[in-house]
Every structure is written in C-alpha cells, then in structure tokens.
Structure 1
Amino acid sequence: MTDDVAVGRIERIIDTEMRGLQAMRAGLGNGLASAFLECIHAIEASGGAVVVTGMGKSGHIGSKIAATLASTGTHAHFVHPAEAGHGDLGMIAPRDVVLALSWSGEAPELANIITYTRRFGITLIAITSRPESALGRAADIGLFLPAAEEACPNGLAPTTSTTMQLVAGDALAVLLLERRGFSAHDFSRYHPGGKLGAQLLTAGQLMHKGNELPLIAQGATLSQGIVEMTSKRFGIAAVVDAAGNLTGVLTDGDLRRAFQQGFQDMAVEMAMGRRPQTVTEDVMAAEVLARMNDARITCMFVVEGQKPVGVVHIHDLLRAGVA
C-alpha cells in the first residue's frame, strides 16, 4: 500500500465514523433526545451510583464512560460482566442505575447483570443498536443508537459503533455535570495530578504570603521601596494605605523611569502604578498565567477585598507545571 493510498484509507475511515455520528445527531429528532433526557432524570433521581458494564470493545468504552462520569461528579464505577456472576454483583446496590453497553444487545455475559437488575428492581439503561435484542427488551430505558457502517473494511471490528457509544456516554456525563453546576473548582478535586492538576491549582495555593509579601506604606520613600523590593526578590511591591488597602504597585519598571528622570528620593506614590493587576485566591492557576501573559507582567498580587494577602510570580506557575 502506497502512502497516498494509506492517506485515502484514513480519510475513508474518518468519513465513515462521521456518518455514524451524523446519523446519531439526526436520531435526536426521532426519539433519541427524549431517551437521553429520560436517562438523565433516572440517574439524578436514583441517589445511587451509575454502574457501567459491557463486554469486549463495548466494555472498554464502558470503562472510559465510568471514568468520565466519576471525574465529573457522578458517582460511577465499572463492573465487568464476566466477573459479575462470581461475586461482583455485590457491587450493584438497590439505588444504583446500571448502564449496559452492547451494540448487538445479545452479549451472553450480560445475562447475570440483566437478571439481577430485574430481580431487585434496579434501573437498567441500555446503549445498543437493537431495540428488539435481549438487552433492549429488558431495559427500563433504551438509548437505541442508529445502525451504522463499521469503518473496518470487513464490517466486523467495532469502530464506528464504539465511537457512537463513546459519544453517547460523553453526552450523558456532560449533561449531568452541567445540570449539577459542576465547576472547574469541583473538577480540580478529582484531578490533582499531572499538567491538568497543575492548571487547576488556585492562586491561593501558589501565592507567597506573610513575611514573604512585599509591602510598602504610602508615604514611604523610593529608597525604602527599593530595599523592600530587593529583600523580597519579586521585583515588585504593593503600596498600601493606613487601612492596609492596595492603592498601587511599585515595579522595577517604575524605578527605571524614576532614574531616567533624574532620581530623587520621593514618596513611592509619586512613582507607583495606580492600576495594579490582581486576582482572588480562588482563581485557577491557568487563568492567572493567562492574565499575566495578557498584561505582560511577571507578578500578580492576590487580594481579599482590597487588601493584598499574597503574591504569585510566574516562576511559581512554571515550577508547578502550569505553563
């Protein structure tokens, strides 16, 4: 196979899977949207977990759906159907909702879980392409996806079908998080590691505070300001009034401009910038970095009300792995 032929095959695969998603999109107007909403309402009303199950490739997709649900605030876990009959049925509680995936709806390994849900009145949601299948008939709610051509040239390997199942699961997870008002701050509790975890740190978690905070009182001289700036090593100092409120910032740029005009040991408010860039403690580190980039600055004060309580330097963001 030449490279040109290979690229053509890739295009065909993508186009085939896109047609499956387009058919799924069109199906929203033919009852699929109502089924999605019914699923959402059942999960919200259950008070339990979403137990996802599936065999083979559907099982791999189901495992990912369970992980996405769990990471976005919906209590969820995956139960392997082959293990269910060997004790793992005990992982399904009466108030749970079972989300079962099977494109054909006839995976024999699902039989124990289907029977268990029917025996104990546990809500069963099916994601399948065949309403008339064993799974489709048994389900309380059916997300019946339209039949679609697999991207596999033999029409056998699950490709388009698993993409459609994955999108269905993503739709459920995102709808649930949006309806719950799940925020980036909530998200950060479940993603403390790696680059994503770093971006979800807050200014309050990264800031320098207490004795590390460079502060100058209004009325102090530039020479006093220089001592404070150099001793705290941030190249910046917050200027505060008698009430401790932030009124300006003194930067190394302000000092350079003062020297260019012929240095005089004037009051700091004569040289300070009067529109300091600030954030509150709950602002995400990624947003702090974006604001610094936009303003072309390397430090930003963290405030509580009008009072400076900390300072974040761009090096803090780099060390944390935000950038």
Structure 2
Amino acid sequence: MASFSERVSSTISNSLVGLAVSMSWEVGIFQALLDTEVPLTSHQVAQAKGLKERYVRELLGCMSVAEFVRIVEGEDGTFLYTLEEEAKKALQSRLAALLTFPAVLSSTYSSVKECVFQHGPAGHSYSDRVQAFFDNFLEYDAPLLTSAFLENVPNLQTKLEQGIDVIEYGAGQGQLSATLASKFPNSHFVASEVVSSLVDKSRTRWDHISNLSFSLDDACSLQERPGHEFDWVFCNNVIHDLPDPVAALQGIKRVLKKPEGVFTFLDHAFSGSPLKEKGNLDVARYYATGTFLCIPESYQREESLALGPCWGKQTSVGMLQNAGYLVEVVTLDKARALFICHHSKET
C-alpha cells in the first residue's frame, strides 16, 4: 500500500484535475473537440467557443497530461489536440452529466464549512446549481431508472398501462415523473416537492403532459387522504436526504392503497460501516458527497437524523420494517439498490 503522503498527494492531484475537467466541459473545450474530425490548436478551440486562448491552453495542458485529450506536435511545433473515439462516445453518454460534479461540490464548500462548526448552522438547502445538476443528470438517468422499476416490480408495467394513480415524492424538477407519464398515458402521475420554486419550475416545464400534475408537500408530514390513496408511490435518492425519514415512511404508508399499493425507492445500500468499507474509494466518494450535499440538506434542524447516502442497507430495511412494510431489496449495481415495499399483513 502507498504511504499516507503518497495517497494524500494522489488524492489532491485527482481533485485538482477533476475541477479542470469540470471547467473544460462547462466552457465548451470538450465540446469543441467533439464537434471536429480534425486536430485543433488551442487558438482554434478558443475561437470556436469564444474563450481566451491562454486559459484554454492551460486547461488543455491539464487534460492532455492527464490523458483525457490526445496531444501531438505539428510540423511547426504547435500542439494539436483531439479526442479518441472511446472518449467521444463516453462524453455523449450519461458520463457527461457527471463532469460538472467536482465544480458543483466545490460551490458548496464555504457553506458546508460553516455548518461543520458547533456554532454554525445545522445545514442548508440545495442551491439552484445543485438542483440543476440533479435535473441534468436525470435527463440521462431517467430511462435507466424507469427500466429498473418496470423490470423489478411485479406487474407494475401492466398496471401502468391499464391506468393507476402514482405520486413521486422529492421529484425535483419533475424529470422522472414526466418520463413515466409520457410513457404511460392511461395512468395519472403527481410530481411532489417540498420546495415551491421546484413545483413552479416543474409545472412550467411539463404542463403539456396532460396526465401529470404537481403538488407541494412535506414528505415528512403526510396525512391520510381517504379516497385519494395512490397505487404506486416512488422516490429516487430522497429518503436518506429527509430530516425525518421515519415520519416520511409512516406517512407514505398512510397514502398508499391497501392492501395492493406498492412503495418503491432507489437509494444506496452500502454496509453502513466505514470499517467494513476500508479501502473502497467508491464508498469514500459517497461519504464525501454526503458531507457536501446530503447531510446539509437533511440536517436543517437539530433533531434531524441526517442519515447520509452511506446509511447502510440494514438501517434502511430496519426502518422500513418498523414502519410496517414488507421489504424486498434488489441490488442494481455496486452503488444503488431498489427497495420494493408493501403493506405488512398487520397493517
């Protein structure tokens, strides 16, 4: 194993390169190389995107040394830059939505630093930039998440085709609900959020979808809705972000039709133990994400549980069972799982 100093040095180097990757994507440097079939100089990249050449040259220096961009020297000594075909394919996939993530996290640094101190605020809400990142990522991810629901929840597709009532809590700007509503016009979908500005944005953006409506709700204080229960309730990366997930799970059960209603949510299902995950940098990344995004979002009052994304599979299953659900967990990949929940016979 590398020494502590070597590991710290490598991590800092990767962090700095990550910021340069975010910048190169956001200002259009990668796009300029995607849009051409021939090698470009730094001057040509700058001209194509209306940028200052000196900054472009420095960023391309970073990208080429890190081997994200191919560099060759022309006959006149000028450096020429291109993208490998594999890189072009990757930049046109869902990976593209992740390229701005280092910059998004860095934008929260000062606010989170204040929260860490005993005298500081407990937490803070997601900024517009964070919400925009989530929405952009869902543009790529929504088809995959839709497939995860349809392939793993028994009879869900048939019911949606026939027509059922559905609500998504923590819908953000409504991308996932809109995708499903467009696919299943016989069902009625509600995109619910606790942030009024997000509800307004969703309504403006998706108002053309006739079977999609919008609601302002606090998922942590849901009350019974006699005659207006839902056949399917779903969430995506929401439960661990809530200040009172126990109350939310109990409230969702109140609005879920008995006995046939199903509640499904996508979330992380790690071990919940940093000792068991020692050396797993993928999990370390989620602890870092929790620090800068999930904990501040959920820890907005002193009594908040502030679970974070590494809350652990056993913790989540235990909470669900205590709330009166029968639970099945389907592992989707090394980071995500689908929790399929029904009313228990006792409830």
* TM-score for both structures, normalised by structure 2: 0.29
Max Rg structure: 1
Normalising to structure 1: TM-score of the pair?
0.31
